[in-house]
Structure 1
């Protein structure tokens, strides 16, 4: 399994990266994009045909999904349009949220069913994409939000936290994963609100408690120090730690 980072800037797109989006490829598996934030559609074109990807949405905050209206344009109006519909998995209200964002006028909703084959996540109900099995785990974030666990036919596992606060569910999501792709949106402080994001300390703690093989830090906003977040994670977790960058490729 290989991860190509399309975008990793937290909460907003940054000067060096789109917002959240990760291209996952594996043998005998159609290309999958995990999250589809602002700027991801453009970055995706360097690596894959946007008309051929399936999309997995962790949640529906703008920085994780709002390039989907652009994908609708690509699929509807490209001079050589792709056949069939794009397979998309996401929270229960995905059709409404994306339909409103894609509408011609305020107060209207675009019917995306002509273009999108949409399915709602069912917690811990496995979904098979070629050689990958994906399970969604509900995590602690204000909207309906999921972390995703992707396992290949050899049993190699990538766990992706999506956006979450510290909780038992994210530790179970990551349990024994070969690679944990974890958000780390801010540095650690007692005044951080609960149930929103992880600090570098907490991302490292999740990695240690879950016994993962490698920790990849992501979703670091432009205003947060990458170096501080990395140092915090290393204070809790003794395994390999890296903060990802747009264009980086990792093998699970």
Structure 2
């Protein structure tokens, strides 16, 4: 089996999908996209496609190694996302070729169910209570919200208090048997992040996501040591080496 064609499809408002065809009629789909950079990732897929045309699609790991490490410059959001979308499409082809779900090819199922949360925004406090209540009514046991919208480089006491107030609203509606997670999106500096974490700690967030920017990974361990709130990160990390500081934390 050989790869004969690779296409990409831009889908408004910000999505990009990749379709890989083979000479045996098996087609695979993937999603190579970075939010706000779909057209740039599309160009990267076009460049990588030059290597893949004519190749055996079932050599999935081999192609991942070549596409990820075969050039002088590696990783980064654009290249990594382009490779990831292609990788998804190749695994899709492999699953169809072998007549098995991809999770079986990757070692088998791990669990039969998984807990999920609902996203409720939170940039603006107006309507937050109603959004959370609606998700509770829908049966969700956890929600995730933004800590804040744009903040000052050094947040004022009022801005910090506003974060606490929003999380407190969520906690009041959710009660002690449900959870709220808070996404900081790296919008706070290291000192401000520590201050906010300490302020919301009594409200028992399930976790706080990305309290620091991804390039501040060397500061993560100190932040983890300053709070009992679980820290989630990694959304904007693209290679194994970039995860090392987070793992050390």
Flag the structure with more relative contact order, 1 or 2, with Cα contacts below 8 A and sequence separation at least 6: 1
TM-score, with length taken from structure 1 = 0.34
TM-score, with length taken from structure 2 = 0.34
- Give the helix-richer structure, 1 or 2: 2
